[in-house]
Chain A
Amino acid sequence: MHDVICSPLSVPAESGTHSATLSASEKSRRTITRGGTAERRILIVEDDIALADFLSAELESQQFAVELLHDGEEALRALGENQPYDLLILDLNLPRLDGISLIRKMRPEHPRLPLLVLTARSQVEDKVTAFQSGADDCLTKPFSLAELLARIQALLRRNSGLVPNCSQIGDLTLLRDERRVERNGRRIELTPREFAILEVMMRNAGHPVSRATLLREVWNMPAEPSTNIVDVYMKYVRDKVDRPGERRLTHTIRGFGYELRDADA
């Protein structure tokens, strides 16, 4: 296993791991407290004001911290500010930037953010498109509040259990929520796309990852033999991760793709 438990929420600062290099504010920013109770933070993007207000009030009564936005552009901006949301509830039919376009734009930068799509459209194609674009779950209106709450709990539970915040291979560490990468104490600055590539590679560390997988997971594109976009971006990632003199972690698997591997492990 290359995923290790080193979440700022679960590891005390004096643990002596790499996470001790993070500041105290970074360690605590995912925890919002009210009256001593930790709250999960949910962003709702819904253009119908009445429904948005209703959902917001009901979720707040369930001890969630809720932020409400009404159009796709606003939502993309808020997500770009790296607000530490625990869940995104997204209506597909949004003004200025529709829900599917929003998912496609935000997913590379927020690969782990649980995403529940609300749609008034019952066609299977709409749901398929939402899932293919990166939705984790889909609920068709008119839905019941009880079902929405159950799905929210399931998504939060799934997210907190299966994919840890921190992955580590050799001296390379990736913190998903903080969108931070370090190698042997050296901070590595990555673009959103480069981060998404490394995140996929870290999830599959020790195993070859095909170019097609990277195209699908990072760009949401089908396998396209004529494009070299993966190789171009992989070179950027490699140049930043494997500096001269450092042990090489990124390896090319000729004719297939790439692998993240610590040769000395």
Chain B
Amino acid sequence: MNCEMPMRSAASVAAAEAAHPERARFYADLVNGLHAMAQPLTILRSAMEMLTLPNGGMIDQRRYLEMSSRQVARTCGMFASLQDLVETQLIEAQRVRFDLWDLLMPLIENQRRMLGDTRIEIIAARPESRVAVWGDAGRTEQALAAVLKLAGAVSISGDVIELRAVKADGYMELTCENARRHGKPMDSSERLSLAVAEANILSQNGRYDAVEDPFRVSLALPVENLDRVIGEVRLSPMRSQPMN
């Protein structure tokens, strides 16, 4: 009987996770991303199967072709997200000073346009002082865009998405939330986008917290250059240790 094997395996995994939580989280996100791709691939595989049936003339070919096209696009999007996820660990984030709110406003406007007449409102409470942070503006923009897009995707008509920035403990924290519980469920590709957003923020000495239902994402970036504050100490263990 080898029924103890899974338990030993689970124990060793737990020990490894405790020793390197950031690395464990990254690997978990990668594995979850790969698993997420199984959803469109299942549809794709089955659609192909239907298209190649011997009596294929009897089925609605166009329907299965359109279905295949959508799932190929979805899978490609997931591959791109996985690529982004890997690059957050492979390429070092920039450390520059930028205004978080200046970055956010065009994204909000863009998202408002995307929501169109869905009656989903975005309210952004601009802080009185500047919202200057240290980090990678490109990665932050990518994370903010993903969070805003997801906030819209899980919302339904009549919902209000709120954004607010608060400075505390040396960080500028931006929270995006829709207080309505049980909105639309998030799908696997949306969860993968959220994982990439998280990795983008964490890779620049940021903090990140997310709740799926009701939807709330808080991301925080340092208001000082932490690299200068802590000298040679590296905050990201992923870069200082081999990936094997």
Residues of A within 8 A of B (CB): 47-51, 54, 58, 70-71, 93, 95-96, 120-121, 124-125, 128-129, 140-146, 148
Assess whether B45 is in contact with A144, with CB atoms less than 8 Å apart: yes
The answer to whether A50 touches B187 (Cβ under 8 A) is yes
In contact, A51 and B39 (Cβ under 8 angstroms) = yes
A241 to B36: give the CA distance in the assembly, Å. 49
List the B side residues contacting A93 at CB < 8 Å: 35, 188
Given contacts A50-B187, A71-B185, A95-B213, contact A143 B35 (CB under 8 A): no
How distant is the Cα of A93 from the Cα of B39 in the complex, in angstroms?
A: 11
Residue-wise interface mask of B (165-196) relative to A, using a CB-CB cutoff of 8 A (1 in contact, 0 not): 00000000000000000000111100000000
Q: B residues within 8 Å of A by Cβ?
A: 6, 9-10, 35-36, 38-46, 49-50, 67, 70-71, 74, 185-188, 212-213
Q: A58-B46, A145-B50 are in contact. Are A120 and B213 (CB under 8 A)?
A: no
Q: Which residues of A contact B185 (CB under 8 A)?
A: 47, 49, 70-71, 95
Q: Determine which of B41, B49, B67 lies in contact with A141 in the assembled complex, contact meaning CB atoms within 8 Å.
A: B41
With beta carbons under 8 angstroms apart, the residue of A49, A144, A148 that contacts B187 is A49
Q: How distant is the Cα of A124 from the Cα of B3 in the complex, in angstroms?
A: 12
With a CB–CB cut-off of 8 A, which chain B residues contact A129?
6
Query: How many interface contacts (CB-CB < 8 Å) are there between A and B?
Result: 68
Complex CA distance for A96 and B46, rounded to whole angstroms: 28
Assess the A128–B6 pair: CB atoms within 8 A.
yes
A50 touches B71 (CB 8 A): yes
A-B contact pairs, 22 of them (CB 8 A): A47-B188, A48-B39, A49-B187, A50-B40, A50-B43, A50-B70, A51-B40, A51-B43, A54-B67, A58-B46, A70-B185, A93-B188, A95-B212, A120-B36, A128-B6, A129-B6, A141-B35, A142-B41, A142-B42, A143-B45, A145-B49, A148-B46
A47-B185, A96-B213, A141-B35 given; 10 more Cβ-contact pairs under 8 Å: A48-B39, A49-B187, A50-B74, A95-B212, A120-B39, A124-B6, A128-B6, A143-B45, A143-B46, A146-B46
- Chain A's closest residue to B59 (CB) is A61
Which residues of the partner chain B approach A124 to less than 8 Å between Cβ atoms?
6
Q: Which residue of B lies closest to A93 (CB)?
A: B35
Contact A141 B6, beta carbon cutoff 8 Å: no
A48 to B6, CA, bound (A): 28
A140 to B43 Cα, complex, angstroms = 13
> A141 touching B46 by the CB < 8 A rule?
no
Bound Cα distance A87, B26 (Å): 37
The 8 closest A-B pairs by CB, nearest first: A141-B38, A145-B46, A142-B41, A120-B35, A120-B38, A142-B42, A125-B6, A48-B39
